[in-house]
Amino acid sequence: MSASNSLAHADITTLLHPYTDARAHEAKGPIVIDRGKGIYVYDDSGKEYIEGLAGLWSVAVGFDEPRLVEAAARQMAKLPYYHTFSSKSHEPSIRLAEKLVEMTPENLTRVFFTSSGSEANDTVVKMVWYMNNALGRPRKKTFLARTKAYHGITVASGSLTGLPNNHRDFDLPAIPVRHLTCPHFYRFGLPGESEAAFTARLVAEAEQVILEEGPETIAAFIGEPLMAAGGVLPPPEGYWQGIEALCRKYDILLVADEVINGFGRLGSSFGCVHYGFTPDILVASKQITSSYMPLAAIVFSEAIYNAIADNTARIGTFGHGFTASGHPVATAVGLENLAIIEEKDLVGNAARVGAVLQRELARFADHPLVGEVRGAGLIAALELVSDKATKAPFAPIGKVGAAAYAAGHANGLIVRAIGDTVALCPPLVITESQVLELVARLGRTLDDVAAQLPDLQLG
C-alpha cells in the first residue's frame, strides 16, 4: 500500500471529521493536504490549489510564514507552556492583551483569552450572566442573535448560531436566545421594498422582540458585522446604527463577533469600524494568529470588567477558564502575526486588492448561474440560482453548491459551498495578479458546473 493510500485508509478508519457526511467520506476518502506556500496549498499527490478560503476564513499571512514558525520555536524553547490561573502570568499574553487593547475601539480595555471562537462566545454568555447576577439583574439573560448567524458550536455558542444543521439533533438552542430576521436584502427583502425600508423593518422587529420579552430580560445582542458562514452577507446600510441605538435605549450589551471580520478582512481593522458602530464586547480569533496556533480573545469594556471583578471579590474567584487560556506559544505567535499584518499593511492590501476582487467577481453577475455577487474587502460570495429573474433557488438546495465545490478542486481552487453559495476568503497576502488567477479558476469552475446541470437530477 502506498503512503498516500495508507494515510487515506487510516483517516477513514479512525477520524470523525467536522462538517462532514461520515458515510460519504468513508466511500470517497480525504484530500490530504501536505504543505503550503503563500496563498497555495498542495495535496499529497503534489496538486496545487489556491486556498480561496484561507483555510477556514483564517490565514492572513499565507501558509509558509517563517517568522511565525520562529516565534513559536523561540517561545517553545523558553517557556513552552504555562497557565494564567491564580494570578500567574507570562510576557507573551501580557503583551498581546496590551496590543489588543491598543488596536480595538478605545472603550475596550480588558482581555480574556481562549483557544477558539466557540469557546470565546461561550465565555461571553457566561461573563454576561455572571455580571448581571452580580448587578442584581437575574432575569437579564436572553441573547438576541440572527438567523444564518454563526457564533460557534459549543452548547452556548451553538445556541447563538442561527443555522439549522448546527441545532438539528443536538438539542439546541439550550440557552435563552431569540433569532431575528437575517439582514440579507437580496434574499429577505420584500417585493418592492427598498433597502432603507428593509433596514427599518429589521430594526423595528428587533425592538418589538425586546418589548415582547421585556428589556429587563435581554442581556445582549450578538452579531457578526458581516455574516460569514451564513453565506457572506453584508448588512444593509444603516442596520448597525439602528441596532446600536436600540441597545443603548434598552441597556442591552452589544457584542461584535469579529472572529472572521477582524484584523483586516473587510479592508478595515475590524468589522465594527468598517460599519461604524461601537461594541461593548469584541470577540476575535482566526486571523489573530493566522490560525498557526489556536487562540481567541474577548476584548471588553471597563464597566463589564468592574462588575465582574467586584463579584470575584465577593465570591473569592472567577470560576471560569481553560488550561490553554493565554497559552504562551499561541500568544507569542499572535504578537508576531499582528506585527506582520501591520508591517506589511495587510489591512490596506485587503482594501486595495479586495477592490480588485470585488470588481472582477462583479463580472459574474451576467453568468447564467449567478443570482447575486456580494462581499467586502477580501471576502466575497456568489449565490447560484435556478432563475435569475425570480431569484428562485435550485431544488434541492446544496447539489449545485457541492458540484461547484468539487469542480473548484478539479480547477485547483478551494472554495466553501454554503448551500448553493460559493464563498471566497483568500489570505490577506494575496496579490492583484493572484486575484486574477483565482477569478480565472472560478470562471472555469462555474462553466463546468453549468455543463453538469443536466446530470445533477435537480427538482
- Residue 297 sits in a domain whose CATH number is 3.40.640.10
- Give me the pLDDT at residue 241, please: 98
Phi, psi torsion values for 195, nearest 5 degrees: -65, -40
Per-residue pLDDT at 296 exceeds 80: yes
Selected residue with higher pLDDT from 67 and 1 = 67
**Domain termination site, one of 343, 377, 409:** 343
Mean per-residue pLDDT for 309-314? 98
Beta strands in 159-200 (DSSP E): 177-180
90 within domain boundaries: yes
Q: Which domain holds residue 277?
A: 68-343
Q: Evaluate if residue 3 carries a pLDDT over 90.
A: no
Asked whether the predicted pLDDT for residue 1 surpasses 60, the reply is: no
| Residue 350 falls inside a structural domain | yes
428 close to 61: Cβ distance less than 8 angstroms: yes
Residue 2 forms part of a structural domain: no
Last residue of a domain, one of 308, 324, 343: 343
Q: pLDDT-derived band of residue 107, with 50, 70 and 90 as boundaries?
A: very high
324 in the same domain as 181: yes
- Burial of 94 per CB tally in 10 Å (0-12, 13-18, 19+): middle
Give the separation between CA 168 and CA 104, rounded to whole angstroms. 35
Residue 123 makes CB contacts below 8 A (sequence gap 6+) with 112, 114, 298, 320
Q: What is the mean pLDDT of residues 270-285?
A: 98
pLDDT(4) > 70: no
pLDDT surpassing 80 at residue 2:
no
Reported as a single tens digit per residue, the pLDDT across 9-26 is 999 999 999 999 999 999
pLDDT at 459 over 80: no
Give yes or no: residues 308 and 159 share one domain: yes
Same domain, yes or no: 95 and 237 = yes
Tell me: do 337 and 365 sit in the same domain. no
Tell me whether residue 14 is in a domain. Answer: no
Percent of the chain with pLDDT over 90: 97
Q: What is the pLDDT of residues 331-388, one digit of tens each?
A: 999 999 999 999 999 999 999 999 999 999 999 999 999 999 999 999 999 999 999 9
Which DSSP symbol is given to 129? H
Which pLDDT band holds residue 5 (cuts at 50, 70, 90)?
Answer: confident
As to burial, measured by CB atoms within 10 angstroms (0-12 exposed, 13-18 middle, 19+ buried), residue 261 is buried
List, in sequence order, every residue forming a beta bridge with 143; answer none if it has no partner: 177, 220
- Dig out the grid coordinates for 392 from the structure: 428562485
Answer yes or no: do 378 and 405 share one domain: yes
Strand-pairing partners, residue 35, are 42
Q: Same structural domain for residues 249 and 326?
A: yes
At residue 76, the pLDDT reads 98
The pLDDT tens digits for 188-236 are 999 999 999 999 999 999 999 999 999 999 999 999 999 999 999 999 9
**The pLDDT of residue 131:** 98
Q: What is the mean pLDDT of the chain?
A: 97
Burial code of 73-83, b = ≥16 C-beta within 10 A, e = fewer?
A: eebeeeeeeeb
Number of domains the chain is built from: 2
Phi and psi at residue 42, to the nearest 5°: -135, 135
- Based on the fold, state whether residues 81 and 163 are members of the same structural domain: yes
Q: Judge if 246 and 389 occupy the same domain.
A: no
Residue 329 has pLDDT above 50, yes or no: yes
Q: Based on the fold, state whether residues 239 and 369 are members of the same structural domain.
A: no
Tell me, yes or no, whether 339 and 369 share the same domain. Answer: no
Whether pLDDT at 414 is above 90: yes
pLDDT reported for residue 53? 98
With respect to residue 48, please indicate whether it lies within any of the assigned structural domains: yes
Same domain? For 214 and 278 the reply is yes
Residues 223-271 have pLDDT tens digits of 999 999 999 999 999 999 999 999 999 999 999 999 999 999 999 999 9
Inform me whether the pLDDT recorded for 319 exceeds 80.
Answer: yes
Give yes or no: residues 374 and 264 share one domain.
no
Q: 25 in a domain, yes or no?
A: no
**Gap between the terminal Cα atoms of the chain:** 42
User: Which of 290, 314, 343 is the endpoint of a domain?
Assistant: 343
